[in-house]
Chain A
Amino acid sequence: MSALLSVSDAHVSYGKVEAVRSVSLQVAGNEIVTIIGANGAGKTTLLNAIMGVLPLKGATAFAGTDMAPLDIEDRVAAGLCLVPEHRELFGTMNVEDNLQLGAFRIPKATTAKSFERVYALFPRLKERRKQLAGTLSGGEQQMLAMGRALMGAPKLLMLDEPSLGLAPIIVADIFRTIGELRAAGVSVLLVEQNAQAALKIADRAYVMELGEFILSGSAKDIASNQRVAASYLGFQHEGASGI
């Protein structure tokens, strides 16, 4: 397995507080990997550090190149893209402009194709394309944030809590789309509190607690792990493998 993203021995600190300690992870091409863990475990911090928003101590490589000297914009150009927890949309601009800016680093000739692809994944965005991003519903904003990221034709999409605060029916929709992304050749690194849904869709999983990975393995194994089942999946009894 040649890793698309490889992080080894990563540390991230806020001042003296170390929020992420000695974390190593790999994401291969065409793979969905999820990091599950409780609120405050350091998942968002880790994603932000991989993107370059926060300083990271340790080695990170993407598609074979060392990412340490690259800033956020260069990482985007290399094909790494983050959909952050707060979505960070351009609220006073319309849906179409938001999407167009997503393709800022992409040659103009391919933009039309990207628009088609995103509108096919999220038909709702096409209906709302002249509406201001700030006036969209939460679910539509999440679709727009993912759509904007996909406009940049990323090799690896990092999603931070895509289901946060959304109605269950929309969550199902978002997760279905994540599955479709893999079929389209995009790898996904998914951070979720909704562990059940995340493990269902992922190939591999890491479990994060207090800034460290305490478990890793195939999503199936993790889902059937007793400790995970008790802590994150809401099962109190043994034999909770039926996910």
Chain B
Amino acid sequence: MNTTIMLFLLQDGITNGAIYALLGLALVLVFAVTRVILIPQGEFVTFGALSYAVLATGKVPGTAWLAMAMGLVAFALDLFDARRSLRLKRVLRSLALNIVLPAAILALTYGLAGPKTPIAVNIALSLLIVAAIGLFLYRIAFQPIAHTSVLVLLIASVGCHLALQGLGLVFFGAEGLRGPALSNAALTIGPLRFTGQSLAVYGLTIAFIIALWLFFGFTLMGKALRATAVNRLGARLVGIRTTLSGQIAFLLASVIGAISGILIVPITTLYYDTGFLIGLKGFIAAIIGGLVSYPLTAVAALIVGSVEAFSSFYASNFKEVIVFTLILPVLVLRSLAAPAVEEEKD
């Protein structure tokens, strides 16, 4: 192997690793705040990517209707929960969030979708759609069981993954799709050629990490989310609604997932079930970070990306095997290092 190949592989690895880092961070965030291991993270990736690809062909993706349907269910659940003390303000708030918002997104999508819609508008629409789906997914599937054990939440999470993946097949079909590149510019440094797309991946990843850092470090809402992660009872006792924290965590996770998808879909063909595998690699990074550490997760994601790039060069048949084997030594080490922990009661 010469240096050029190595540099190429490293470049490839870092590009993928940046995506895994985003997904890993979202997983850590959601787990810390809600204790949900977010298996459907991969579906946020596919839904974002494929909605963008469908919008690029000038059609309206089925996900926009899914958001509307989920909004209706969420509204019904809100009404049911509030049936004993039906206050107008509460109902109106729920109506605005669960009906008006997805209806507006649906209307916007129909109004704006077309063969000549600019890329930026398509991206914004895909993000809005997936953000709404993420928000309602928490309301429908996880908020009613928020107080249960991690295991129950995990089972619900697997259920959501299977359901959303099935819906993905309905909306996008079994054929893979590709989306248009964000930019066709390219930059050559020595032997390496950086496409506009990969530069966008780096730029957006770094921007997102900085934005998350600013959000969690300096805004009251970000601090409230951290507080919920550190001490749920303490957070409730100062009046922070854990449901609100959960909604924001899911909102962030779905937007991050969708952005990752939109960043990849011009590079590789995505199928309705590709997201799961991509999400799983983010998950490995998150596990290496112990599901708690953001910096460790980001570093681990870059390692996962690089290992993947090198193994696809040397033993492409075993690419996934090698990547997922990474998790074994980490788990063994962690189980040896950490004392046995009883599941925490909430």
Q: In the complex, which residues 92-134 of chain A have their Cβ closer than 8 Å to any Cβ of chain B? A: 92-93, 97, 100-102, 104-105, 108
Tell which of B220, B224, B226, B237 touches A82, judged by Cβ atoms closer than 8 Å: B237
**Chain A residues positioned under 8 Å from B224 (CB to CB):** 101, 104
Q: Is the CB of B84 within 8 A of A101?
A: no
Q: Is the CB of A97 within 8 A of B238?
A: no
Please report the total number of B residues contacting A with Cβ < 8 Å: 18
Q: Is the CB of B223 within 8 A of A88?
A: no
Residue of A nearest to B234 (CB): A88
Per-residue CB contact flags for chain A residues 67-101 toward chain B (1 = under 8 Å, else 0) read: 00100110011000110100011111100010011
Known: A100-B223, A101-B224, A104-B224. A152 touches B239 (CB 8 A): yes
Q: Measured between C-beta atoms, what is the minimum distance from A141 to chain B in Å?
A: 12
Q: Is the CB of A101 within 8 A of B240?
A: yes
Considering the chains assembled together, what is the distance between the CA atoms of A89 and B235 in angstroms? 9
**Chain B residues positioned under 8 Å from A59 (CB to CB):** none
Tell which of B223, B231, B235, B239 touches A77, judged by Cβ atoms closer than 8 Å: B239
A215 within 8 A of B: no
B206 within 8 A of A: no
Q: Is the CB of B230 within 8 A of A91?
A: yes
Q: Is the CB of A101 within 8 A of B223?
A: yes
**Chain B residues positioned under 8 Å from A149 (CB to CB):** 237-238
Tell which of A51, A69, A97, A108 touches B237, judged by Cβ atoms closer than 8 Å: A51
Q: Is the CB of A88 within 8 A of B233?
A: yes
B303 within 8 A of A: no
B135 within 8 A of A: no
Q: Is the CB of B223 within 8 A of A84?
A: no
**Chain A residues positioned under 8 Å from B231 (CB to CB):** 88-91
**Chain A residues positioned under 8 Å from B226 (CB to CB):** 90, 92-93
A172 within 8 A of B: no
B2 within 8 A of A: no
B241 within 8 A of A: yes
Q: In the complex, which residues 213-263 of chain B have their Cβ closer than 8 Å to any Cβ of chain A? A: 220, 223-224, 226-227, 230-231, 233-241
**Chain B residues positioned under 8 Å from A89 (CB to CB):** 231, 234
Q: Is the CB of B237 within 8 A of A81?
A: yes
Tell which of B84, B230, B236, B239 touches A90, judged by Cβ atoms closer than 8 Å: B230
B317 within 8 A of A: no
Q: Is the CB of B238 within 8 A of A148?
A: yes
Residue of A nearest to B87 (CB): A69
**Chain A residues positioned under 8 Å from B238 (CB to CB):** 76, 101-102, 104-105, 148-149, 151-152
Measuring CB to CB, which residues of chain A are less than 8 angstroms from any residue of chain B? 51, 53, 69, 72-73, 76-77, 81-82, 84, 88-93, 97, 100-102, 104-105, 108, 148-149, 151-152
A sample of 13 more A-B contacts (CB under 8 A), given A88-B231, A88-B237, A149-B237, is: A72-B239, A73-B239, A89-B231, A89-B234, A90-B226, A90-B230, A90-B231, A90-B235, A101-B223, A101-B224, A101-B235, A101-B238, A101-B240
